[in-house]
Structure 1
């Protein structure tokens, strides 16, 4: 009998959000089970307040804390893994494509059943219930969900799930109120950041798009971005890009510098429509059931399209900067009716 199940999701925000349908399916199949999840400090806010999860274990990647001594970071992470081993989980699921480190983490948990993907033809002492990577291209939500077959759960993933904090929603609402925002207006969120350079849309194009929207619609623009200077080698952000867009539009966008992931989730939850690049914010918006217009570079839509919500993907398959402002505006007009 499976009574304790651990998910391991040690990568990026979007990957973790795409895991939430699998977590929910386990909760429905094993309603009395204790469900834990091991995540990192960077993505943990994406699963806070999730009623399907009993225990959240958080470890820190040394690259996310350059100001800390690496040895102290590693020691703290060992304490987290020791705590997990003491729980004696019945099953641990290493979510994501095969990686040696993910396989080792799954093994170290000490779980009786250790589930994860291997590349075709591989063998591993770390997984005792492995699956081979699917040959066909699947969406990340589907690929993660398929790992549940080892627990007797089959079918298709449902909606992504995310739960904004009430306190943080009120903080963003206060920012909107202070700006004079009227609820009769559309609130169109621009999230202007993306981790991969080829997925970034230029500031000048966001500015031109903003002018078209403000001329045509009774709308306000909520400007969101990854905080920090583009010159920061450890955590580069888009402060300069946001400042350019803010100062180029009249009326000015409502600039909301979200220093925590929970704040970004709350800000997106209040929007009418989200315009963004490929990245974690897009998957958060999908989990919030927001209509999305997204500008892409070379990412494969079959794997990473917004799951379970109305969306338009605009891409030439190579570089987001090649997508025209007029095409994005036409997609927004279709969404708004």
Structure 2
């Protein structure tokens, strides 16, 4: 059996697809499992044993510009993939995506699986209704029901191999600052919704507590740029007051994703608002405490909470500033001092 999984989303979304791939490999060990991804997110599957082949394509439009070489290359790839005669092509999105479905149709295949809203076109052989109340990883795995694959009783863990370049960077960066692996907590601001970010005052209070209570330094991460940037809002407005405080236990890092992952992997644990970095941190040895806020108007943790045995999350009623420090420190204790508490369930709430 030949199966093609189409995944065109962001890095965190690709990571959340790995439980689906793991389950598919376990249930159909002799199947050929290929993944079609873009050049931006494909590296997340490097070294993944559940995939036979990762095929990539470059985005044809970026920043409003059309890249004609990419258009031609995509057309050539489509003709090549159609000659593969896949038995199953799966548009791996947790909800309906007309773009993903359109690309899946180009590839062809005997059976096409996708979530769909309303009346499905005749050429979509297996339209599925988005199941309510499931986590994104479970929604993706639910797509396999079209193949009559039994579904797992509980969510599967994420699978990710830290790139060697990330490890090398982290070792050098930590050595330069006299930081030991496991001797710090990573605290990040990366979130497009300001209500899910800690304030500058919270960052200063929390990192002081980490230092005085646990003897841990802090690696402080944020997205460069101003918050009013319409395309890529940054966190400089929050980060600058923190940097101006001159706290000796705080080590700023403002860099690309792969180096950031190396630092996350070598820390004791991490704190991140709902974001791609939160999901990667959940897959790291130290785990993560994730933050959500005003879920009535934003994607809820029931669908997007971090996944894993060392993944926790807190939910604030309106903004993250509503959370008192004691709630944050209590949730973090089992990650910093795992020997003092049993590992709690997948999700915990501070609301």
Q: Do both proteins adopt the same fold according to a TM-score greater than 0.5, normalized to the shorter chain? A: yes
Match of residue 195 from structure 2: 198
Would the aligned equivalents of 1:168 and 1:266 in 2 still touch at CA under 8 Å?
A: yes
Aligned mate of 1:296, from 288, 292, 313 = 292
Distance in 2 between residues matched to 1:240 and 1:42, nearest whole Å: 28
Secondary structure of the residue aligned to 1:315 is: strand
Distance in 2 between residues matched to 1:117 and 1:111, nearest whole Å: 17
TM-score, structure 2 normalization = 0.84
**Residues 224 and 40 from structure 1, CA distance in 2 versus in 1: closer, same or farther, beyond 3 angstroms?**
farther
Secondary structure of the residue aligned to 1:223 is: strand
Aligned mate of 2:17, from 9, 16, 19 = 19
Is the deviation greater in 153-162 or in 198-207? 198-207
Would the aligned equivalents of 1:227 and 1:257 in 2 still touch at CA under 8 Å?
A: yes
Aligned mate of 1:281, from 277, 280, 286 = 277
**Residues 27 and 204 from structure 1, CA distance in 2 versus in 1: closer, same or farther, beyond 3 angstroms?**
same
Distance in 2 between residues matched to 1:36 and 1:240, nearest whole Å: 43
Higher relative contact order (CA 8 A, sep 6+): 1
When the two structures are aligned, how many residues end up with a matched partner? 330
Would the aligned equivalents of 1:283 and 1:307 in 2 still touch at CA under 8 Å?
A: yes
Write the deviation string for residues 53-98 of structure 1: whole angstroms up to 9, x where unpaired: 23223344467x3285454554444344344334332211111211
Aligned mate of 2:170, from 169, 172, 196 = 172
1:245 aligns with 2:242: yes
Match of residue 119 from structure 2: 122
| Superposition map of 1:142-291 within 5 A | 142-156=138-152, 157-183=155-181, 186-228=183-225, 230=227, 232-239=229-236, 241-259=238-256, 261-291=257-287
Match of residue 346 from structure 2: none
Match of residue 314 from structure 1: 314
The alpha-carbon deviation at position 311 of structure 1 amounts to 3.4
Would the aligned equivalents of 1:206 and 1:245 in 2 still touch at CA under 8 Å?
A: yes
Match of residue 345 from structure 2: none
**Residues 279 and 249 from structure 1, CA distance in 2 versus in 1: closer, same or farther, beyond 3 angstroms?**
same
Write the deviation string for residues 210-262 of structure 1: whole angstroms up to 9, x where unpaired: 12211222112122233455465443333554444344252142333332x33
Match of residue 333 from structure 2: 333
**Residues 48 and 105 from structure 1, CA distance in 2 versus in 1: closer, same or farther, beyond 3 angstroms?**
same
1:132 aligns with 2:116: no
Secondary structure of the residue aligned to 1:53 is: coil
Distance in 1 between residues matched to 2:55 and 2:317, nearest whole Å: 37
Would the aligned equivalents of 2:207 and 2:217 in 1 still touch at CA under 8 Å?
A: no
Would the aligned equivalents of 2:290 and 2:305 in 1 still touch at CA under 8 Å?
A: no
Distance in 1 between residues matched to 2:48 and 2:224, nearest whole Å: 25
- Please tell me the root mean square deviation across aligned C-alpha atoms, in Å: 2.6
**Residues 263 and 154 from structure 1, CA distance in 2 versus in 1: closer, same or farther, beyond 3 angstroms?**
farther
**Residues 171 and 190 from structure 1, CA distance in 2 versus in 1: closer, same or farther, beyond 3 angstroms?**
same
Distance in 1 between residues matched to 2:79 and 2:268, nearest whole Å: 44
Distance in 1 between residues matched to 2:189 and 2:167, nearest whole Å: 20
1:90 aligns with 2:87: yes
Match of residue 48 from structure 1: 46
TM-score, structure 1 normalization = 0.87
Would the aligned equivalents of 1:289 and 1:309 in 2 still touch at CA under 8 Å?
A: no
**Residues 42 and 12 from structure 1, CA distance in 2 versus in 1: closer, same or farther, beyond 3 angstroms?**
same
**Residues 37 and 249 from structure 1, CA distance in 2 versus in 1: closer, same or farther, beyond 3 angstroms?**
farther
Write the deviation string for residues 175-197 of structure 1: whole angstroms up to 9, x where unpaired: 011100134x5321112111334
